[in-house]
């Protein structure tokens, strides 16, 4: 049984309603549509302190038929529940949580205080510190030789200070312990509360019977040190995810919306709907994703792309939520709700990154399953052992109290979650979003990297070769077909057509074939725009570039120029220094792929590769024992992204590509890839170190407590220190620079796949001619 696991399974039929349960409408209002009839509801659970709490809540709620999945974030207390719309039942959810021993409230109903938990901890810490200092002064008088009535007087004065102090300062421990016991389970606060109460009761008994020794100073000082540890832990966990918290605090709470009658009203952020016209003044942030319909201004887009230089956006330009308006008022049309905008997407991915069930997290959960009963049994055996050895019940109880405190599994419970939180925050500050915490574990094991070319290694913004002149009628058809695609080459054609004032023509039966091109009918003829091996008849397949064909015959050849992403060469080199070989798989022509590969250095490549062949190559690498990272951006990369051991896509990727990937990097620079690998590897090392610290602590501390070498005060210091040490070790990642700092390198001699001769880099693919 886990330290926070219910002794009996939750029976939905036995659940009784509780006060404060939100209505169905309130629950639906804060829930997000996930597609396929699924919705996600977020609530905040109070008094979550350890991995056992996570296990209890997730296991208890997952047993309910109406709930599909649950995920609890230790650092924030946010509980994400996924269920079908028709199954949403706030009464069932909140009553089950109460039966498990936890109270909760809707995520949007959090208290107005900036941090009520920290406020309570600081008050408790102040009370405990004041009482401990004064009781220690009284204890000095007793230790100095006070006897009989004088000693009893000092003891009773100490009792008058200690009893209310313990009642107030102990609330952060007593409340969750009481809830746990009421629910028929154990958690880490139960042995702490038991130890404090035992020390206080022993002291009252001694004082009432005119005993020489009282432990009022021990019980209050014990609480003082425990509160120091919990307060520091709370502060450091909050700092670990401070980037997202700061981001959310900067977001506006609402916006000025212009109605159909022209009247302007202030609308709460949650009430903004797509289609609403929003006025964004100078100095304000964009509240939701939108499109400018009036005005031009400079915007600070660093939140999106990491670039400090302002970006000028005019009518028709799209803006992400969180972007800062720098130079003038604009009016935008909302294209998403706040729950579906860029900031919400970031927050959702951060929550997922912090709560993924890594291998080490599962190990910690299994250890927690036997920890609590073992602690209480060990304390009982210690008490019995001391009594059998002939010591008095005072000494035996004193040793048992020390065991209860020193064996608290705080360090073990924090070993994995705190590293996950810090790693997710570190990657976020580097412009990298993690969709699942398990991806960090997978990325740490990567030994091979496969890159798409267009839009991944390159900027994805190719330009049509301006040295040639194209027939106006042919350009009109090509631009019209390209307007149906988001492929970088298609966007370049559309941009060129817009610059030249080309009008679009009406096409019929338009269809985009991933990895090949666009097919459409015009004037009764079939036109194809795309790869030559797909668009042209056999006689003309040797054309290199993007072609426009009619009935299989070449009409025009379009040539494009593209540039490498910033830090692309240095990023490939950084991966090699990490022992990760790189490879390029591209559907482009050999000349274009070879040019990019030569600029990157010693990189093997395959050209003319179809989406299916990319996926086959990933599967082949897996069969050879490689843990492969796939970096791609297009619809044609989605199968490969899904087939890889772990995958990363740029924010500019198609929706299918972003959905198929495990991570997303927001900035233009490709150094996000080695940075992500470096952070994941350091996170894995820190988790292993934290496990080692937790195990070493228990191997040293527990025998000392059992044999009486650690008093309850020393036990409190040791337990708090172990938690702080684990947290500080995790915070090293926040200030480190793993995988970063690589500089651009000069191109080296190119080795194509045919000429490299290196076994790990040889492929079963057969490069094809074509665009």
HSE-up of 630 (CA within 13 Å, CB side)?
A: 31
68 CB neighbour count, 10 Å cutoff: 16
The secondary structure element, H or E, covering residue 520 is strand 517-522
- Residue 101 has what pLDDT? 80
- Residue 292 has what pLDDT? 93
Measuring CA to CA, which residue among 689, 604, 96 is closest to residue 411?
689
- Let me know how long the chain is: 771
- Residue 123 has what pLDDT? 92
Distance, in Å, from the CA atom of 532 to the CA atom of 543, rounded to the nearest integer, reads: 6
Q: Are strands 463-464 and 448-451 parallel, antiparallel or unpaired?
A: unpaired
Residue pair 274/637 in contact (Cβ under 8 Å)? The answer is no
CA angle 331, 336, 339 (to 5 degrees): 125
- Residue 552 has what pLDDT? 87
List, as one string, the DSSP characters of 430-478. TTEEES-HHHHHHHTT--EEEE-IIIIIB-S--EE-TTS---HHHHHHH
SS3 state at 653:
coil
DSSP 504: P
Distance, in Å, from the CA atom of 394 to the CA atom of 678, rounded to the nearest integer, reads: 53
- Residue 480 has what pLDDT? 93
Q: Which residues in 298-308 are b (16+ Cβ under 10 Å) and which e?
A: ebbbbbbbbee
Tokens of residue 89, six digits: 């039942």
What residues act catalytically? 452
Backbone angles phi, psi at 433, to 5 degrees: -105, 135
Measuring CA to CA, which residue among 365, 401, 370 is closest to residue 386?
401
Residue pair 547/649 in contact (Cβ under 8 Å)? The answer is no
Cα 391 to chain center, whole Å? Answer: 53
Splitting the chain (771 residues) into consecutive groups of 10 residues, what average pLDDT does each group show? 40 41 78 74 76 77 85 73 83 85 68 68 91 83 71 86 92 85 76 82 83 75 77 65 59 83 81 90 88 89 62 86 86 87 69 54 60 79 91 84 76 73 82 78 91 83 75 91 85 86 90 86 91 77 75 86 85 92 86 86 85 86 92 74 85 65 84 92 90 85 88 73 83 80 37 33 35 34
Measuring CA to CA, which residue among 171, 176, 170 is closest to residue 189?
176
């Amino acid at each position: 049984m886990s330290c926070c696991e219910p002794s009996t399974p939750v029976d939905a039929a036995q659940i009784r309603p509780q006060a404060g349960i939100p209505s169905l409408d309130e629950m639906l209002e804060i829930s997000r549509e996930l597609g396929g009839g699924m919705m996600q509801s977020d609530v905040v659970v109070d008094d979550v302190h350890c991995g056992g709490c996570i296990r209890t809540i997730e296991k208890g709620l997952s047993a309910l038929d109406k709930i599909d999945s649950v995920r609890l974030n230790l650092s924030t207390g946010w509980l994400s529940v996924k269920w079908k719309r028709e199954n949403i039942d706030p009464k069932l959810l909140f009553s089950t949580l109460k039966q498990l021993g936890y109270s909760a409230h809707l995520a949007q109903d959090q208290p107005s205080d900036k941090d009520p938990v920290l406020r309570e901890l600081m008050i408790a810490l102040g009370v405990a510190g004041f009482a401990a200092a004064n009781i220690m002064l009284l204890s000095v008088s007793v230790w100095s030789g006070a006897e009989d009535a004088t000693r009893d007087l000092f003891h009773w004065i100490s009792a008058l200070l200690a009893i209310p102090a313990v009642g107030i300062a102990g609330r952060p421990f007593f409340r969750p312990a009481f809830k746990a016991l009421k629910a028929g389970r154990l958690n880490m606060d139960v042995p702490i509360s038991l130890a404090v109460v035992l020390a206080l009761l022993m002291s009252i008994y001694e004082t009432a019977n005119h005993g020489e020794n009282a432990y009022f100073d021990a019980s209050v000082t014990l609480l003082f040190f425990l509160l120091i540890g919990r307060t520091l832990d709370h502060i450091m966990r909050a700092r670990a995810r401070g980037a997202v918290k700061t981001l959310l605090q900067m977001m506006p709470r609402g916006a000025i919306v212009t109605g159909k009658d022209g009247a302007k009203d202030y609308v709460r952020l949650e009430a903004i709907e797509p289609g609403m016209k929003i006025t964004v003044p100078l100095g304000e942030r964009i509240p939701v994703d939108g499109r400018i319909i009036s005005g031009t201004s400079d915007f600070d887009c660093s939140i999106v792309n990491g670039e400090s230089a302002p970006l000028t956006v005019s009518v028709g330009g799209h803006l992400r939520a969180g972007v800062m308006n720098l130079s003038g008022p604009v009016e935008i049309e909302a294209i998403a709700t706040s729950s579906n905008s860029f900031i919400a997407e970031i927050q959702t991915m951060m929550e997922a990154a912090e709560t993924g069930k890594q291998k080490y997290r599962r190990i910690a959960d299994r250890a927690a399953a036997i920890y609590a009963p073992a602690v209480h049994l060990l304390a009982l055996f210690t008490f019995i052992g001391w009594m059998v050895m002939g010591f008095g019940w005072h000494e035996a109880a004193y040793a048992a109290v020390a065991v209860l405190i020193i064996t608290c599994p705080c360090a073990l419970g924090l070993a994995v979650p705190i590293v996950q939180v810090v790693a997710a925050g570190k990657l976020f500050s580097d412009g990298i979003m993690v969709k699942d915490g398990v991806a960090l574990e997978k990325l740490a094991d990567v030994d091979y990297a496969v890159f798409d070319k267009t839009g991944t290694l390159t900027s994805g913004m190719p330009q049509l070769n301006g040295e040639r002149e194209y027939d106006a009628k042919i350009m009109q058809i090509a631009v019209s077909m390209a307007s149906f695609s988001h492929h970088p080459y298609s966007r370049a054609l559309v941009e060129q057509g817009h610059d030249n004032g080309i009008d679009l023509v009406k096409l019929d039966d338009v269809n985009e074939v991933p990895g090949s091109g666009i097919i459409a009918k015009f004037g009764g003829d079939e036109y194809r725009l795309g790869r030559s091996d797909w668009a042209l008849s056999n006689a003309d397949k040797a054309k290199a570039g993007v072609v426009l064909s009619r009935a299989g015959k070449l009409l025009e050849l379009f040539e494009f120029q593209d540039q490498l992403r910033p830090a692309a060469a240095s990023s490939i080199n950084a991966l090699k220094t990490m022992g990760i070989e790189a490879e390029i798989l591209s559907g482009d022509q050999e000349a274009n792929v070879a040019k990019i590969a030569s600029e990157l250095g010693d990189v093997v490549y395959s050209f003319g590769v179809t989406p299916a062949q990319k996926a086959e190559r990933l599967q082949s690498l897996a069969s050879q024992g490689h843990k492969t990272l796939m970096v791609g951006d297009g619809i044609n990369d989605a199968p490969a992204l899904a087939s890889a051991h772990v995958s990363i896509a740029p924010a500019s990727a198609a929706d299918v590509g972003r959905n198929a990937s495990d991570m997303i990097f927001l900035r233009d620079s490709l150094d996000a890839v080695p940075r992500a690998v470096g952070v994941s590897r350091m996170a894995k090392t820190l988790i292993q170190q934290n496990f080692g610290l937790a195990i070493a602590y228990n191997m040293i501390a527990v025998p000392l407590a059992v044999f009486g070498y650690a008093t309850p005060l020393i036990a409190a210091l040791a337990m708090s220190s172990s938690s702080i040490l684990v947290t500080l070790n995790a915070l090293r990642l926040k200030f480190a620079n793993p995988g970063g700092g690589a500089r651009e390198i000069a191109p080296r001699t190119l080795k194509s796949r045919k000429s490299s001769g290196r076994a790990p880099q040889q492929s079963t693919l057969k490069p094809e001619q074509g665009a």
